[in-house]
Structure formats: structure tokens, C-alpha cells
């Protein structure tokens, strides 16, 4: 969440609103914006609860108690995917990178009309395609067999070959 907050450069006192709005511009295509906004809002509220030492599931009370941990893992996976792929795009694309060099450049970028921001960033990672899972490996990570068909492969294809490096899903390898 902190990594995404650094990219969206929120104004003091407007972090939640700007986090949800700005991330939604690159977290899903415009057709999936509502689902992405819900995921972003829940993830942001989870982060606030943890940071302010409230019960970790306070922001998930609309879900059954038995579902809350899976929902929390789901939102965490969505934000991790979004952050990793957003940074990979910025590092690999000099045209996008120039918008993130300085605070002044960030401020100017986020003042652009929505369509220009969407055009510049594209859909970095459609978080709406990562589905709720209930099957985890021994480290608590969602088992890839639970991911949507083709998701992992599409992430690898999208990020291969940039500047002689291969970016792998959820981690980087030089």
C-alpha cells in the first residue's frame, strides 16, 4: 500500500479518496472500474486499521467471520500485484518514467485529465481478474492453480525482455 501511495502522490488529508480514484485509473480497464474501486477501498481501509492498531478485520465486517481472512489475503494479493507491475512498468518504460522523477512531475501528472493518465499508464494490472481463493501453499500464498487461467503467463509475457531483464510474477530476477 505504501508503494502505491508513493506513486499516486496524494494531497495531505485526501489520501483515501485520491488513492482509490488514482489507482482505479490503472488497476482495471474503465469497464471494471467499480469492482476495482471496491477492492482498493477495502484494501486501503485494511491498511489503515493495521497501521492504527485496530483489529485487522474491522474493515471487513460486511463479510462473514469465516471469510474475512481469505478476503484479506485476496486484497493483499491484488495490491501486491498492482504495486509490482506498476513499478515494473515505470522502470521499463522511459515515457512513463518521466512522470515519476520528481514530486513536481508527479503533481503535474496527476493534474492531467483522466483519459491522459489512462493513456499514459494503461491498465497496469487488472486486479478484478485476481479472484478470491481458499487454497494456499505452505507460505500462505495463493496456489497458482487457483489463479485465473492464463494470468501468470500473461504477467510474464507482458514484462519479459525489458532492457535485457526478465520480470517474473511477484518478484524480479535480473
Backbone angles phi, psi at 15, to 5 degrees: -60, -50
When pLDDT is cut at 50, 70 and 90, the band that residue 174 belongs to is very low
Instruction: List, in order, residues 6 or more apart from 102 with CB less than 8 Å away.
Output: none
Total number of domains constituting the chain: 1
Cα 69 from Cα 55, distance rounded (Å): 12
- Whether residue 152 is contained in a domain is answered as no
Element (H, E) at 168: strand 165-168
In a domain, 162, yes or no: no
Looking at residues 40-66, what average pLDDT do you find? 93
pTM: 0.78
Look at residue 10 in the predicted model and tell me its pLDDT. Answer: 94
Cell numbers standing for residue 63: 463479510
Digit-coded pLDDT (tens) for 121-131: 988 889 998 88
Q: Domain of 120?
A: 2-129
Does 17 reside within a domain?
yes
Q: Is residue 168 part of a domain?
A: no
3-state class of 146 per DSSP?
Answer: helix
Residue 155, in any domain of the structure: no
Structural domain includes residue 78: yes
Identify whether 86 is part of a domain: yes
* pLDDT tens digits along 134-148: 877 888 777 766 666
Q: Is residue 168 pLDDT above 50, yes or no?
A: no
In angstroms, the first-to-last Cα distance of the chain is 24
Amino acid at each position: 500500500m505504501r508503494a502505491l501511495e508513493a506513486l499516486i502522490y496524494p494531497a495531505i488529508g485526501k489520501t483515501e479518496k485520491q488513492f482509490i480514484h488514482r489507482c482505479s485509473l490503472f488497476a482495471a480497464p474503465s469497464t471494471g472500474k467499480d469492482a476495482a474501486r471496491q477492492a482498493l477501498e477495502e484494501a486501503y481501509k485494511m491498511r489503515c486499521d493495521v497501521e492504527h492498531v485496530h483489529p485487522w478485520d474491522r474493515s471487513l465486517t460486511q463479510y462473514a467471520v469465516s471469510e474475512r481472512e481469505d478476503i484479506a489475503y485476496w486484497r493483499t494479493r491484488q495490491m501486491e500485484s498492482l504495486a509490482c507491475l506498476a513499478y515494473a512498468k515505470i522502470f521499463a518504460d522511459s515515457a512513463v518514467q518521466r512522470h515519476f522523477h520528481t514530486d513536481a512531475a508527479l503533481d503535474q501528472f496527476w493534474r492531467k485529465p483522466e483519459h491522459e493518465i489512462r493513456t499514459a499508464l494503461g491498465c497496469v494490472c487488472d486486479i478484478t481478474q485476481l479472484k478470491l481463493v481458499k487454497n494456499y501453499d505452505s507460505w500462505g500464498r495463493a496456489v497458482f492453480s487457483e489463479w485465473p487461467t492464463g494470468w501468470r503467463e500473461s504477467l510474464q509475457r507482458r514484462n519479459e525482455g525489458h532492457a535485457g531483464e526478465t520480470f517474473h510474477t511477484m518478484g524480479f530476477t535480473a
